[in-house]
Amino acid sequence: MKTDAVDDILEQWSEECPELETESLGVVIRIMSLSRAFLRQATEALAPLDLELFEYDVLSALRRQGRPYALPATGLAKATGLSSGAMTNRIDRLEERSLVTRKPDKSDRRGVIVSLTIQGKRAIDDAIELRLDAADESLKGLNAREIGDLASLLRKVRLTGTEEVETA
């Protein structure tokens, strides 16, 4: 089996401190490294659409709701793991680009409903295709069964209490 830089790190620890069990650290380091690589990949995939990853996250959360592709700003903040202040800034930026609109929430006079515009729906529909292509490229070394097994294992790790808000 091929080795990677993480194997070298773990081997060095084993030589220096043979009593240490380093398998878990190896998994975590690899996941952290992959996370950085996947973030770069997502950013590059969205560049042709002039979309930032944070914009994609907001548009994606709205698109996944189905028609009418809308959420209260508070629900949108929760879906993306952001504070209401951070969400307001993101909505402002997306509204300036005509990708979303906001209107008063009839059920909460302090709230607003954020909706995708036609241009926003078109942007997120194009973006998800690019993200899927990039994800497929990242996992091209795995077959379908291995991808399923990896997804199951990662899900299990997330459900052990280390889970954070998802983005897709």
Domain assignment of residue 97, yes or no: yes
Total domains in the fold of the chain: 1
Distances (CA, A) of 77 to 16, 113, 118, 128, 145: 46, 12, 21, 20, 35
Domain assignment of residue 114, yes or no: yes
Distinct helix (H) and strand (E) counts, the chain: 7, 3
Residue 150's domain comprises 49-162
Domain assignment of residue 148, yes or no: yes
pLDDT of 158 reads 87
What's the gap between Cα 154 and its chain centre?
A: 14
pLDDT of 168 reads 56
Q: Tokens standing for 162?
A: 């280390």
Domain assignment of residue 39, yes or no: no
Residue 165 phi, psi (nearest 5) = -65, 140
Average model confidence (pLDDT) across the chain: 92
Cβ burial 68-86 (10 Å sphere, 16+ → b, else e):
ebbbbbbbbbebbebeeee
Cβ neighbours for 84, distance < 8 A, ≥ 6 positions apart: 73, 74, 77
- For the chain, 168 residues long, the average pLDDT of each consecutive 10-residue run is 90 93 93 94 95 94 96 92 89 96 89 96 97 94 96 92 56
pLDDT of 84 reads 85
pLDDT of 165 reads 47
Domain assignment of residue 116, yes or no: yes
Q: Tokens standing for 34?
A: 């992959």
Domain assignment of residue 42, yes or no: no
- The percent of residues in the chain predicted with pLDDT above 70, rounded, is 95
CATH number at residue 158: 1.10.10.10
Residue-wise pLDDT tens digits, 34-45: 999 999 999 999
Domain assignment of residue 4, yes or no: no
Residue-wise pLDDT tens digits, 71-98: 999 999 999 888 888 899 999 999 999 9
Q: How far is Cα 78 from Cα 84, in angstroms, rounded to an integer?
A: 9
The answer to whether residues 78 and 72 touch, using CB atoms and an 8 Å cutoff, is no
Q: How far is Cα 70 from Cα 104, in angstroms, rounded to an integer?
A: 12
Domain assignment of residue 141, yes or no: yes
The answer to whether residues 90 and 55 touch, using CB atoms and an 8 Å cutoff, is yes
Looking at the whole model, is its pTM more than 0.85?
no
Strand partners of residue 105: 108
Strand partners of residue 103: 113
